[in-house]
Structure formats: C-alpha cells, structure tokens
Amino acid sequence: MLRGGNIVAMPSETVYGLAANALDEQAVNRIFVAKGRPQDNPLIVHLSDARQVGEVARDIGGDVQKLAGAFWPGPLTLVLPDKGVVAPNVTAGLGTVAVRVPANAMARKLIEQAGFPLAAPSANRSGSPSPTTVRHVLDDMSGRIPAVLDGGSCAIGIESTVLSLVCAIPEVLRPGFVTPDEIAQVLGRPVRLSAYVEKAPGGKAIAHSPGVKYKHYAPKADITIILSDDDDYYAHMALIQRQNPGAYALCFTEDVPHVPLPSVSFGSREAPEEQAARLFSALRLLDEKGAKTVYARLPAAHGVGLAVRNRLLRAASFRVVDLMNHARGKR
C-alpha cells in the first residue's frame, strides 16, 4: 500500500502514526486530507536507521551523533536543516526537517521493507488526542484510511520529544519521554525549553514548531486545570458538585476516593510514566462518558511530568484556576 502511494496507520512506541512515503508529495497529501490537518503544520520523517539521517538532512554534526547514540531508536525527534529530498508538504517549506528513528520494531521493519522514509503524524483526526491503541485509530479514522498495522498498545503513550538543533542553543519544542535534563547531559551543554511548552502562543507569535499554535489533544468536554494541593482540590470539587453535578474530575488515582464527582484517573501522582501511558485514553474515556465539563489536576513540571503537563494544558486550552495563588482565574 505504501509503495502504491497510499497511507497506512502504524504503531510506534509513542503513539500510532499515519504513514506515507515521505518522498511522494501526493501520498503525503493524503495524510493531510485524512486527518483534516492544516497544510502549514509539518510532519516527522521516520527512518529505520540513524545512518539514513544524512539522506534527508544537512549539516549533521556532533550533536546529532551524540543524541542518536544515546536515544535512537527511541522517542526523540530532531529538527535539522532540510536537504530538499523529502516532499515539500512534509516540511511545510520551513527549510528544516524533523526526523526520528522509532524504537518500535514493527515500525522500523515497515520503514525498512518500504524502502523509503515514512512521514507520519499522530494517527488522530486533527485536534483530538493522539491514538495509543488500534481502537483509538479506528474511532477517528475508520473509513478514511485503508489499513492499520496492529501493534497493540503504545508503551510510552505520549508523543516524542521534539528538539530543534537549528538554533544556537538547542531548544525543546515539545517535551516528551526524553527529558531536557537527559538531553543536556548527553550534549554537555544547556538546552532551552520553548516558551510555548507552558503557555498559550499569542495570536501574533511566530511559532518555531507550527503545531503549538493549534488546539490539540482536546476531547469534546471543556477542561479546566485546578492548581492546588490535595485538600483544596477536594474542597473545590465538592463546591463544583453542588453547582454542576454533571461535571467530571480528571485526577490522580490517589484522588479517586476523595472526589465527590464522577472521576477518570490518569495514573498515580508519583508515576509520571504511568500518567503518560494513560492520559490520552483517559481523555477519550471522558468523551465516551459524555462529559461536558472537566476539572483536572496537573503533575509537577519535572521529568516526564513536564510532557504530561504540556498535553493537559493544551487539552484545556491553557485554562487554569490557580487556588495556590488565590484564583488568579482564567489566564
């Protein structure tokens, strides 16, 4: 199918991807149509081996060698100068190309047997949470794509870390399972975190990673983040229950017995890896339950928690009620 210019959903260790021949503009265009994705949001190019980076990107220096050695195959995407080999709609004409070598063996085998690099965004309809199971893919894409390669549930459950190497200081554009500290340690110098990781891009901001400006990961429900300690969260939820008994809590496993509203948990407070693996399923479950209004907790901003936090903030369109600092309110 891929050789014939078609698109196929494939598993990866992060989330399911919707793949097409990265060298074929028409095939890549089918991805944009099936997802309903804006044309100015570029795609990640998936390779089966780190040695192929030089076929699609220029100026591969020591940083790429170090990072590839430490994290590939795995959930790290590198933004590098484009060589003009992949189709123009893969890179949205940015002059850069994003590449990664997935850890999932089935994905690597698919790329290897296709014989060309695969452009693949997450296999969800544009704007909804990334799919971490075949069922999620089918819920979004049934009738819009010819096939899904079934690799079971995705082990990590949250998309790759996107790191730009085209600026003087390497910049994390999207946090993921590979953390900024781990990257800095391997590079032997500091890395920067994009300002858009923890705040909404202003209308006029030119985003380095076009994806950050779109509403994302959002279920149909309106999500509001509650920043508070445990007791204040429970007290606030009791208040909400009196005002809106149909509301839901999106919370840590430890919170469930203390929350007076129906709740969906996304993992233990102490286990950001578990939260990453469960978050997107939890968001989809809220939709299935018909939740309209959701009040969510936010993990601490370190390690993998930074990535979980980023996805939650974006699912909530950055709507945060801060009970720690006396309800600065919607910001």
Q: Which stretch binds ligand TXA (CB under 6 A): 21-29, 74-82, 178-186, 278-286?
A: 74-82
Take residue 7 and report the two structure tokens written for it: 């698109």
The two most distant CA atoms of the chain are separated, in Å, by 60
Check residue 120 for interaction with ligand TXA (CB under 6 A).
yes
- With CB under 6 A as the contact rule, the residue among 7, 20, 44, 141 that binds ligand TXA is 44
Residue 14 touches which member of ligand TXA, Mg ion, none, C-beta under 5-8 Å by kind: ligand TXA
Check residue 128 for interaction with Mg ion (CB under 5 A).
no
Tell how far CA 123 is from the center of its chain: 11
Q: Give the amino acid at 25.
A: E
Please state the closest distance from residue 89 (CB atom) to ligand TXA, in A.
11
- With CB under 6 A as the contact rule, the residue among 209, 263, 275, 310 that binds ligand TXA is 209
Does residue 77 contact residue 159 with C-beta atoms inside 8 Å? Answer: no
Check residue 122 for interaction with Mg ion (CB under 5 A).
yes
The CA distance from 279 to 308, in Å, is: 8
The CA distance from 128 to 140, in Å, is: 9
The CA distance from 204 to 314, in Å, is: 18
Check residue 148 for interaction with ligand TXA (CB under 6 A).
no
Does residue 147 contact residue 20 with C-beta atoms inside 8 Å? Answer: no
Q: Which of 326, 91, 331 is nearest to 225 (CA)?
A: 331
Quick one: 21 exposed, middle or buried, by C-beta within 10 A (0-12, 13-18, 19+)?
A: buried
Check residue 276 for interaction with ligand TXA (CB under 6 A).
no
Taking CB positions, which residue lies at the least distance from ligand TXA?
A: 211
Residue 179 touches which member of Mg ion, ligand TXA, none, C-beta under 5-8 Å by kind: none
Size of the site for Mg ion (CB under 5 A): 1
Phi-psi region of 95 (alpha: psi -120 to 50; beta: other; left: phi over 0): left
- With CB under 6 A as the contact rule, the residue among 9, 24, 27, 41 that binds ligand TXA is 41
Residue 174 touches which member of Mg ion, ligand TXA, none, C-beta under 5-8 Å by kind: ligand TXA
Residues forming contacts to ligand TXA in the complex (CB under 6 A) are 12, 14-15, 17, 41-44, 75, 77, 79, 91, 94, 96-98, 120-122, 159-160, 162, 173-174, 209-211
